[in-house]
Amino acid sequence: AGAFSTLPEFLNNRFDDDVRRLTVILFMLGYGLVTIPSVLYSGSIAVLQLFDIPNLFNFSYSLSLVLTIIVIGSVGAVYAVFGGLRAVAVSDTLNGIGLLLIGIAVPLLGLSLLGEGSVVSGLKIISSTNTEKLNAVGSSTDPTPFATLFTGMIFANLFYWCANQYVIQRTLGAKSLAEGQKGVLFSGFFKVLVPVMMMIPGVIAFHLYGGAGTSEGLETIDLAYPRLIRDVLPTYASGFFLAVLLG
């Protein structure tokens, strides 16, 4: 830790330049074709839902989506290119705190909305109605069967947490080995909160809005979390959410 700032740099030192070059090509393809498009799309969907951009500027939905993607991508590129690793690290820390606060607040506020002002009543509703939504295993007919976790998905997860530049760079950039180890353990702790911050809001959204594609439900499942945020966050918190999202 401290001797390298990027994973390709580490691989070049550990192996050779060919390994570094191949790794960079694979990373760039992955980021360009999968990671960055999905992040920009999901972030833009949230902004469109929260601030109703099409009606605000009288744009079509597709044009609003494209323009929002360009704005979010440009903001991220500017501070990453001109600020360097230090700016990214500081921004990630601040945004991480903001996302943690929002991630904890949304399920609590969502349960309160579902329970008509009572979090306990909301919990009773999701634990007694449509309980199949709480089944983490699912069935063999699910789009992503549970067994996938032990076949292809385990390799994707091992790559992301053990070799992905986005994650490993933070560890390699630590001022010492001990600090890097502490950072990994601290980040791992917050992964325990993911079911509460990500899965429970989805269950709440199903109870509030119905299933995607139904007459009473949302058009697509992509809109569930942004719609829930729009409905439960106080108006004054919308700007805070946008600042965290764009960061």
For 66-109, the three-class secondary structure string (H helix, E strand, C coil) is HHHHHHHHHHHHHHHHHHHHHHHHHHHHHHHHHHHHHHHHHHHH
Contact 203, 225 (CB under 8 A): no
Q: Is the per-residue pLDDT at 247 higher than 80?
A: no
**What secondary structure does DSSP assign to 5-42, as a single string?**
SSHHHHHHHHS-HHHHHHHHHHHHHHIIIIIHHHHHHH
What whole-number percentage of the chain has pLDDT above 70? 94
Pairwise pLDDT comparison (216 vs 88), residue with the higher score: 88
How many whole angstroms separate alpha carbon 109 and alpha carbon 231?
9
Q: How confident is the model at residue 85 (pLDDT cuts 50, 70, 90)?
A: low
Instruction: Tell me what pLDDT residue 2 has.
Output: 52
Domain coordinates of the chain in residue numbers? 7-246
Would the pTM count as exceeding 0.75? yes
Q: Is the per-residue pLDDT at 66 higher than 90?
A: yes
How many whole angstroms separate alpha carbon 119 and alpha carbon 112?
4
7-246 CATH fold: Sodium/glucose cotransporter (1.20.1730)
Average pLDDT, the chain: 84
**Of the segments 21-25, 45-49, 80-84, 96-100, which one has the largest average pLDDT value?**
21-25
User: Where do we find the tokens 């605000």?
Assistant: 56
Closest CA to 111 of 101, 99, 130, 126: 126
How many whole angstroms separate alpha carbon 154 and alpha carbon 152?
6
Instruction: Tell me what pLDDT residue 246 has.
Output: 67
Instruction: Tell me what pLDDT residue 123 has.
Output: 94
Out of 68-82, 184-198, 233-247, pick the least confident. 233-247
How far apart, in Å, do the first and last CA atoms of the chain sit?
26
Q: Is the per-residue pLDDT at 215 higher than 50?
A: no
How many whole angstroms separate alpha carbon 153 and alpha carbon 140?
16
For range 106-121, the mean pLDDT:
94
